[in-house]
Every structure is written in structure tokens, then in C-alpha cells.
Amino acid sequence: MKKNFKKEMKNFIKKINIKPLLKMSKNDCKPFIDKDGEIIRSNKKIDRNYRNLICIMKDKKKFDDINFPYLYGTEIMILKKLLLLKKAQDENLKFYYKPIRNKKDMNDYPDRYIFVFKEENLEKSLYMEFLPYIKTIDESFYREFYPKDETKEENLIKYFATLGMKYKLSFLNINNDEILTLLFYDKFIFLVQKELIKKYGYSLKDFQNYHQLYLYLKTKGYIRLFFNKYGPKIIKLIPIHIKKIKDHSMFDLYVENIRKNEVKNFGDFSVYDLIDEYVPEYIDKKLLWENYKILIKNNT
């Protein structure tokens, strides 16, 4: 009986091994899509939130916002996530909560979004968050990044450069083509959707995948418009945007206030409390906690 139990435990521990997850492939921490709409395959063994957590631990990304603690899935998947959180504690990762700015956000996200980073990357993570903070104090400054009328080309460039800042600041060694590609698929295609319907009778839903959409948009001149006409202007404006925020008289004070009052350590979390509050009811939480303790004992 004891032999069977030991064998079962050995197999169980083997299943929960997170070492393969920590061995990131070259695509795991890169933008998810190529210019022509081909999806870049990455590690699907863990969800986006925890994959980004690994990227930060491995210094492949400087920061990212993740839905936390997001403890859903099978017992094995949840245990893997808990072990990754323990790893984040050991690595002394920091985080601060992304502000909830309206009731809809609170209802839509039962977990909270947090910005995760290593200590030296706190400032980089705050450039984008400074803008909504400064809006009520200095709206004219805010409108340099988020103009009211996005139909004008000049304002559209400013808007895209603002969105591009996050990619420039968060990804390690991201190039200009990758920044533009992310902007194109994350935002531009949605901005031109009404025009596609009105002019050509097509919506984004009519295309089976991004590659098919890319080929169609290329025939209508949208690829040239975005990448050749808008692209160079967007890339040129991104470092100017970053410098404007850095030079704002209130930015340093804002960063220091977040550092003193908002930044928390992963080490402050009680895993037991996370299990109790966030693990779904279909999981036996007591058994999960006991299995977690066994795994920690065997990984130390």
C-alpha cells in the first residue's frame, strides 16, 4: 500500500513540474502576430497571464498587466499557477493594482488587474498610467496623447503613438515593424471597420483569419496607408511622447507616490488565502492546499 502511495505521489509531482513552463521558447514573449496576419505560435500550456509572469521573471518583458490571481482550470493547472506564484515570491517581483476607474470594470473583472514588474522597471510601467491620472489636473497635456477628434490624421498619429509607447516600453528588444504590426491588428482594423462596411459591404467577421483579412486590406490600400504613410510618423513620435511624460513637472512625484504607497511584494501574499478566496468551488480547496504543501516540500 505504501509503495503504491509513493508511486502515485511521484507521478503526481511529475505532473505538476513547472520546469518545462520556465523554459520559454523564442516566441513565448514576443508579439503574437506577423505583419501578414500569421499567428506566431507560443506556449499554450499555461494561460496568457501566467505566461507573461514567466516572461517578466525571465527578463524577457519589463512589465505587463495581468488578471490576478486567475486561479481557474483543473486542479493540476491551478497547482502549476500556485507554484509559479511561489516562484514570483522567490524572485521578489513587485506589483501594484491597476486602478478601477468605473463600475463596469469592477463588474467585468472579479479578479483584479495588476501591473507586474521588477523593481528597476517601475517607472517604465507608469508612463501609460500617468495619463489618466493627469487628465483631471492638466487636460490639455492629456489631449496631446488622446486627442478628441481621431478622424484627423494628425490626431490619429498621436493616438497610435500613445498606444505604441506601451509596446516600446514593455517588450524587450521589440523592433519598429513589430510595434506597427501590433497597432495594426490591435486597433487600426477596428477603426476602419465602419468604412469597410460602408464602402465594400464587409465587416471583420467576414474573414476567417487575420491573414485573409490582411490580403483583402492590401488590395484596398489599407496596408500601404498604415505601414507606409502612418507608420514612420508613429514611430518618430513614440520617443517624443515618452520624453514629454518624463519631463512633466508632476511625473517624478507621481512615480514616488506609487512607489511609497501602492507597490506591493508578491511575497506578501498568503497562498492559503488566495486558494480560499479565488479557487472555484468545484475544486476541493482543502485537498488543493495539502497537495500544494507537498509540492513545495518536494521543490525546496
For the chain (300 residues), the mean pLDDT of every run of 10, in chain order, is 54 74 79 87 76 92 93 92 93 89 58 91 95 94 93 93 95 93 95 93 93 96 97 98 97 97 94 94 94 81
Same domain, 181 and 226: yes
Pairing of strands 94-97, 264-265: antiparallel
Same domain, 46 and 117: yes
Asked if residue 117 is part of any domain, the answer here is yes
Same domain, 112 and 192: no
Asked if residue 118 is part of any domain, the answer here is yes
Contact (CB, 8 A) for 78 and 47 = no
Q: 3-class SS at 84?
A: helix
Q: 3-class SS at 138?
A: coil
Q: 3-class SS at 246?
A: helix
Asked if residue 259 is part of any domain, the answer here is no
Asked if residue 178 is part of any domain, the answer here is yes
List phi, psi (to 5°) of 118.
Answer: -90, 155
Pairing of strands 94-97, 112-117: antiparallel
d(CA 238, CA 170): 13
Same domain, 145 and 224: yes
Asked if residue 257 is part of any domain, the answer here is no
d(CA 103, CA 143): 24
Contact partners, residue 140, CB within 8 Å, separation at least 6: none
Same domain, 213 and 120: no
List phi, psi (to 5°) of 96.
Answer: -140, 155
Burial class (CB in 10 A: 0-12, 13-18, 19+), 299: middle
Asked if residue 7 is part of any domain, the answer here is no
Same domain, 238 and 171: yes
Asked if residue 66 is part of any domain, the answer here is yes
Pairing of strands 63-68, 264-265: unpaired
Domain that holds residue 146: 139-247
pLDDT at 2: 46
Domain boundary among 247, 273, 290: 247
Same domain, 18 and 121: yes
Same domain, 240 and 170: yes
Same domain, 125 and 158: no
* Dihedral-angle region of residue 221 (phi above 0 means left; psi in -120 to 50 means alpha; beta otherwise): left
Burial class (CB in 10 A: 0-12, 13-18, 19+), 66: buried
Asked if residue 121 is part of any domain, the answer here is yes
Same domain, 72 and 86: yes
Alpha helices in 135-281 (DSSP H): 139-142, 153-170, 176-183, 189-191, 193-200, 210-219, 222-223, 231-247, 251-261, 271-278
Count of structural domains, the chain: 2
Contact (CB, 8 A) for 213 and 95 = no
Number of Cβ atoms within 10 Å of the Cβ of 118 = 16
Task: Tell me the three cell numbers of residue 178.
Answer: 513589430
Same domain, 147 and 40: no
Same domain, 271 and 192: no
